[in-house]
């Protein structure tokens, strides 16, 4: 599994013009926008490991984690994170897991974050989403498990 994690001061996601998720940390605070990609060999154990890593990684103010600050998290699936761009000009998506594999694992990841104590908002799996964010820093990490 792969997560692109961004430290944000706000983030929201819209589907068909309707807002389906939003995080607004307290004034001066941060949250995390997490884009999640799933490959064929991923499983629930990897989803749990990734959730713990995202929740506890120390990229917020004063070298603290989202867990330390009870920072909100916005999660959206993004199969394009699994793109292979090594050949030619057209990315290959063959490493991305199909929906029947990927959707339950994104749900596992989100559920694992909630079990750890996170306040989580989500996008809608498989839908075209418009994501707005204010990236602070910028701080953006790519985490693979």
Three-class SS state of 52: helix
Between CA 31 and CA 40, with CA 35 as vertex, the angle to 5 degrees is 145
Q: Are 60 and 66 in contact (CB under 8 A)?
A: yes
pLDDT surpasses 90 at 35: yes
pLDDT, mean of residues 37-53: 99
Average pLDDT over the chain reads 97
Q: Which residues lie closer than 8 Å to 19 by C-beta, 6 or more apart?
A: 12, 13
pLDDT, mean of residues 84-91: 94
Catalytic residue set: 78-80
pLDDT surpasses 90 at 27: no
pLDDT, mean of residues 88-117: 98
Structure confidence at residue 133 as a pLDDT band (50, 70, 90): very high
pLDDT surpasses 90 at 26: no
DSSP letter (8 states) at residue 80: G
Tell me, rounded to whole angstroms, the distance of Cα 121 from its chain centroid. Answer: 10
Beta strands in the chain, from DSSP E residues, in sequence order = 2-15, 18-23, 31-37, 73-77, 120-122, 129-144
The whole-number pLDDT of residue 95 equals 97
Kindly state the greatest CA–CA separation across the chain: 45
CA distance 68 to 55: 9
Q: Which domains does the chain carry?
A: 11-26+38-144 (3.50.80.10)
The whole-number pLDDT of residue 108 equals 99
Structure confidence at residue 48 as a pLDDT band (50, 70, 90): very high
pLDDT surpasses 90 at 18: yes
The whole-number pLDDT of residue 101 equals 98
pLDDT surpasses 90 at 130: yes
CA distance 115 to 125: 20
pLDDT surpasses 90 at 3: yes
Structure confidence at residue 63 as a pLDDT band (50, 70, 90): very high
């Amino acid at each position: 599994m792969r997560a692109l994690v961004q430290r944000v001061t706000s983030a929201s996601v819209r589907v068909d013009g309707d807002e389906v998720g939003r995080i607004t940390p307290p004034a001066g605070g941060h949250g995390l926008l997490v884009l999640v990609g799933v490959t064929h060999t991923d499983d629930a154990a990897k989803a749990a490991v990734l959730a713990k890593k995202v929740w506890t990684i120390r990229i917020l103010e004063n070298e603290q984690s989202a867990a330390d600050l009870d920072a909100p998290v916005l999660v959206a699936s993004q199969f394009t994170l699994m793109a292979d761009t090594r050949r030619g000009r057209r990315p290959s998506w063959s490493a991305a897991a199909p929906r029947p594999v990927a959707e339950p694992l994104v749900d596992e990841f989100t559920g694992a974050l909630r079990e750890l104590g996170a306040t989580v908002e989500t996008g809608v799996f498989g839908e075209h989403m418009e994501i707005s964010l204010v990236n602070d820093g910028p701080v953006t990490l790519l985490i693979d498990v």
